[in-house]
A and B are shown apart, each in its own frame.
Chain A
Amino acid sequence: MTARDAVADVAPLLTALGGPRTVALPAEAAAPLAHLTAALGLPEIRVVDSADDLDAADLVLTGRLARVDWSAPVGDPAPLPAPTVVTAADGAPLPCRTHGPPDAPAVVLVSACGMPAGLVRPWVARLARSHRVLTWDTRGLFDTAPGFDQRGVDVATQAADLRTVLAAHDVRDAHVVGLCGGAPVALAAAATTDRIESLSLWHGDYELGGDAPKTTHQRDVAAMLAMAAGSRERAAALHALFRRPAALATLRPDLAHHLYYPYATAELLHRYGRLNGAIMTTDCRPLARTAPQPALVVTSRADTTAHPAGSAWVAAALPAGRLVELPAGDHLAAFDADATRLDLVERFITETRSRT
């Protein structure tokens, strides 16, 4: 990985944190890192030789930037691609990105709430070869526009954002990929627009009523989100916990710079509590029953984050659903998007399109 790409990878987290930040890297990294952050318009990063006093955010930055060979010249870095901002009906800015041939069939990726776009890079890299791939950033979590408290956070609003993105890009027959918490949002949009031709829902995190099995992780995250959403003061108190290095113990190191994003600041944690909390508490049962499109529902027996039984129930309830339970791969395997999963989705898209 080049130094420029590593810095670009942490750009959303760095922007949210504000500077200056501190990382533990070899001394030779200081000058090129300063050059890169200045050239890319990012907050300053200072280099120290010990990680002993770093907080969780700085350790996450360190982890990503430590993978770079800082002895190599950095030159003049290519600028960070700027998203196209589409405005929702209530004024919320929706930063959008498009990849692939503009006249190719469209695929829209609805990622997990609050995750930077880099988390779905494996999906984009493969699908953009033959599809026009669209993504957008969760409302309120990647911008500093005023008025968050006055705007909607519920699933209906987030589904409307998907419809807004489709309309703004004049997409008429999209295949929508819903990942983790993006799956309920995709479901909610499916019955409300004819711009969606088919769905694939990957390791979806579904609320299906009191008796539905849930993983320990789902229960814990739901409790945490409820606390963070309660008030900014509660989120700030909770944020103190997530600033401690011990909070990184369960984060996969190579994805930590994406996964940690919603915990980076107390304000983000509060907003994440409200937005993702809405997703995790919205009953998906009526949504699944009314989504008419052909839908591929994928999970794995090894998912200890989003209970596989949820995907099984949704697949059975969908009018045109098909369940695939893979034998291996944890929750993050959905984002790793290995060849098995990408072959699966491309076959499904092709089969669905051939029937219409």
Chain B
Amino acid sequence: MSTPTVEVRDGVAYVVPDPDTAPVHHRLLSTSLPAGLLWHEPVPGRPIVGVNRTEIEFLYREVWADNAYLRHGITLPDNAVVVDAGANIGVFSLFAAAHCRAPRIVAVEPGTEAAAATAANAALYDVAVDVRRVALGAVPGEAEFTYYPGNTVMSGTHADTAEDRAVLLAYLAADPAADRTDAVTLATDRIQPVTRRVPVVPLAEVIADQPVDLLKVDVEKAEWAVLAGIAEPQWDRIAQLAVEVHDLGDRIAATVDLLTGKGFTVVSEQSPRLSGTPCHTVFGRRPMARPGSTLRPAEPVDLAATFGVDRVVYVRSLAEIPAAGLTAASPTAAALVEVWGELFGQDAVRADADFFALGGSSLTAVRLIAGVEGRLGADVLAPDLVFTTPRLGELVLALDRAAG
């Protein structure tokens, strides 16, 4: 077995990932992500592609760390047929692939960016996922899809901006990891709607004639319409379900009744993190559901801990390691340093240089972004990143971390 090539410098481990022992990181370095996507490790050693770091961490915590879906007897057998309805960036699809052998996964996600992230994650982890970029509903057609670029998990065809902002605020209030000091700003920042038209298909079309071992549904208030799109003969072929239900107008009771009537053993619960929100999960399992796989995913390797450093930067070869000083490993960070020097002078190219102390304003920030984009293309730098991370050294670190 070969070991990764590594050099440690200034508290950073520069690692050349081996294609056999670190295939995911090796693929990361040889893959260009679609515009607007980035990768982030919510836990060291497990990179996930998404639209922003905060949501990657949220989804990983929900799906992997808190195990939101494999509860109350819900299992994933080997060769499972899994329908991930409302896949978002595909974290559950990855989870499913890691917990059973040879699954067949269909991920349904109407959001362009999230669907692209699902496909990117599947490629990164070499998992066969059939990604369908459509919305689900009772009948075929078209619908208005509200996309929240800052909070893609709440995007959907039944969005209500004021309501969704209130739900996010309630979540932030209940989440011990969330930053409460700026909750209102955060909620308003993240719930900025952009509307699009998307095609709608019923689940009957996705399921077709195949038996389904697990149907997971997380579709932001559209769950009732989604379930209505299952054809009557198909219900008997669905072994298990896990459905996020928004408790609007007694919907939880109605969902429990529906699934009980279809022959499932049903349990409803609410995650403590979602207390104060209307979101609950309803689990349904048939007695004939197959037993779960014995496969357990390998624990990700924390290379920073292994090498005793603060952070790890993955490089294609040791020749890519930048010279000592303000190190900018990624193209985005390197472009930022270059533009920063042009804007504020080369004397200001220091790790402790502060954007505001140098006289930066909102328009200066735009100039900085325009300069970076002029070198690397659009959407490589979040416009307000300089406001949240005004010191150059920390900005470089944030960009390098995002790029890997």
- In the complex, are the beta carbons of B362 and A243 less than 8 A apart? no
- In the complex, are the beta carbons of B363 and A232 less than 8 A apart? no
- In the complex, are the beta carbons of A243 and B188 less than 8 A apart? yes
Q: A53-B181, A237-B383, A240-B189 are in contact. Are A246 and B149 (CB under 8 A)?
A: no
Q: A220-B367, A243-B185, A246-B362 are in contact. Are A236 and B194 (CB under 8 A)?
A: yes
Number of interface residues of A (CB under 8 A): 29
Contact segment of A194-202, A222-230, A332-340: A222-230
Count CB-based A-B contacts (< 8 Å): 81
Closest-by-CB residue of B relative to A266 is B192
- In the complex, are the beta carbons of B387 and A241 less than 8 A apart? yes
- In the complex, are the beta carbons of A242 and B362 less than 8 A apart? yes
Type the 1/0 row for B148-161, where 1 means its CB is closer than 8 Å to any CB of A: 01100000000000
Q: Is the CB of B184 closer than 8 A to any CB of chain A?
A: yes
- In the complex, are the beta carbons of A244 and B384 less than 8 A apart? yes
Contact partner, B379, options A234, A241, A250, Cβ 8 Å: A234
**B52 to nearest A CB, angstroms?**
10
**A205 to nearest B CB, angstroms?**
14
- In the complex, are the beta carbons of B188 and A237 less than 8 A apart? no
Contact partner, B387, options A221, A224, A236, A244, Cβ 8 Å: A244
Cβ–Cβ < 8 Å partners of B194 in chain A = 232-233, 236, 266
- In the complex, are the beta carbons of B185 and A53 less than 8 A apart? yes
How far, in angstroms, from A178 to B366 measured CA to CA in the complex?
27
Cβ–Cβ < 8 Å partners of B188 in chain A = 55, 243
**A212 to nearest B CB, angstroms?**
19
Q: Is the CB of B231 closer than 8 A to any CB of chain A?
A: no
How far, in angstroms, from A237 to B364 measured CA to CA in the complex?
16
Q: Is the CB of A249 closer than 8 A to any CB of chain B?
A: yes
- In the complex, are the beta carbons of A230 and B182 less than 8 A apart? no
- In the complex, are the beta carbons of B362 and A247 less than 8 A apart? yes
Q: A220-B367, A223-B367, A224-B363 are in contact. Are A237 and B382 (CB under 8 A)?
A: yes
Q: Is the CB of B370 closer than 8 A to any CB of chain A?
A: yes
Q: Is the CB of B208 closer than 8 A to any CB of chain A?
A: no
How far, in angstroms, from A205 to B362 measured CA to CA in the complex?
20
Contact partner, B363, options A217, A230, A265, Cβ 8 Å: A217
Q: Is the CB of B225 closer than 8 A to any CB of chain A?
A: no
- In the complex, are the beta carbons of B366 and A238 less than 8 A apart? yes
Closest-by-CB residue of A relative to B382 is A237
- In the complex, are the beta carbons of A53 and B366 less than 8 A apart? no
**Residue of B147, B192, B387 most packed against chain A (CB within 10 A):** B192
Contact partner, B182, options A22, A53, A227, Cβ 8 Å: A53
Closest-by-CB residue of B relative to A236 is B192
- In the complex, are the beta carbons of B363 and A246 less than 8 A apart? no
CB interface residues, B 30-75, toward A, < 8 Å: 36
Cβ–Cβ < 8 Å partners of A132 in chain B = none
Closest-by-CB residue of B relative to A22 is B184
